[in-house]
Amino acid sequence: MAALEAGAGLGAPPEAGALAARRGSGRLALAAFARSRQARIGAGVIAGIAAFCFLGPFFYHTNQVTVELGSGTLPPGGGHPLGTDASGYDVLGRLMLGGQSSLELGFGVSLATTVVGTLYGAIAGLAGGFVDAVMMRVVDTFLAIPSLVLLLILVNLFTPNLWIIIALLTMLSWLATSRLVRGEVLSLRTREFVQAARMMGGRRSRIMFRHMVPNAIGVIVVNATFTIADAILTYSALSFLGLGLPPPHADWGTMLSNGLNYLFDGYWWLVYPPAIILIITVVAFNLIGDAIRDSLDVRLQRP
């Protein structure tokens, strides 16, 4: 219900607007989320897919450990609703297992990106002047180079595991976040309530965490949602280029790019199931981000 109140605040008299501002855009984002059908559909789909990946294996037991070449590339039917892959793994069970690491990758990258990017952007925006200029040129430098290009170099420098992949993807995606947060901080700096807090002798850390971050949180949340989608997609491109994680590991991107090798042999069940679930997941995250962004952008509100 609190969500409804904050939502009404958008079109309400100035007092209500001030109240919403005090509460920070976090509440607004939540309200926007609850109001938008698009966001609710996205969240529902994600919840369903997460349940499928994390709870599914408790009800649907499959062997995803030992290779059984004798029962490789069986078509759907019998004991395997979605058939088996070249190593004899059940595709449905593998989708669950792969989904776990795809989702972990997405959320891991998004969380780390948000923390690092927010801190960096907020510091640059608050510091201003020379420090800000130097910090932002560093960001510009990394942003100038496509992340996939940097990734292809960096992956060569490490023996990848899921954590290293998360770290590398984070290294390349916090930049956009930091830019956004810096922009928000720069515009918030001049607002009266921040100046009042500063005049009352509020410490920098207090201004930052008590006033800046809560007010920028809408933008941060939107960005975090898009980051999840992007991380899953970027990693799938990486595994298509043969630089993904080696076999015992399973994820949708790797399943899809391996499956594509068999597409023209007619093994369609190795291609379409991972493709469809990957695309649906990424679409769902993008829908959520897009819906929140639209509702936060007051200019786009209908009068």
Residue span 108-137 as binding mask against other proteins, x where in contact by CB under 8 A, dash where not: -----------------------------x
Q: Which of 113, 225, 236, 295 binds other proteins (CB under 8 A)?
A: 236
User: Does residue 263 bind other proteins (CB under 8 A)?
Assistant: yes
Residue 222, burial from CB neighbour count under 10 angstroms (0-12, 13-18, 19+): buried
| C-beta of residue 251 within 8 angstroms of C-beta of residue 105 | yes
Q: Please report how many Cα atoms fall inside a 13 Å half-sphere around the Cα of residue 51, on the Cβ side.
A: 6
Task: Confirm or reject binding of residue 152 to other proteins (CB under 8 A).
Answer: yes
Q: Among 126, 228, 256, 291, which residue interacts with other proteins (rule: CB under 8 A)?
A: 256
Please report where in the chains the tokens 């899953």 appear, as a residue.
Answer: 232
Question: In the structure encoding, which two tokens stand for residue 292, read together?
Answer: 């929140």
- 233 forms part of the interface with other proteins (CB under 8 A): yes
Is residue 264 a contact residue for other proteins (CB under 8 A)?
Answer: yes
Applying CB under 8 A, which of residues 3, 41, 115, 275 lies at the interface with other proteins? 275
Please report whether residue 190 would count as binding other proteins according to CB under 8 A: no
Determine, following the binding rule CB under 8 A, whether residue 262 of this chain makes contact with other proteins: no
Q: How far apart are CA 160 and CA 177, in angstroms?
A: 25
DSSP 74: P
Residue 199 is a binding residue for other proteins (CB under 8 A): no
Q: Say if CB 178 and CB 220 are below 8 A apart.
A: no
> Using CA of residue 232, residue 234, residue 237, residue 238, what is the dihedral sign?
negative
Is residue 143 at the binding interface for other proteins, with CB under 8 A as the rule?
A: yes
Sign of CA dihedral 222, 224, 226, 228: negative
Q: How far is the CB of 63 from other proteins (least distance, A)?
A: 27
Least distance from other proteins to the Cβ atom of residue 257, Å: 7
Element (H, E) at 264: none
Q: Could you say which of 278, 288, 291, 292 contacts other proteins (CB under 8 A)? A: 278
Token pair for residue 231? 């991380």
- Contact residues: other proteins, CB under 8 A: 137-138, 140-150, 152-158, 229, 233, 236-237, 240-243, 253, 256-257, 260, 263-264, 275, 278-279, 282-283, 286-287, 290, 294, 297, 299-300
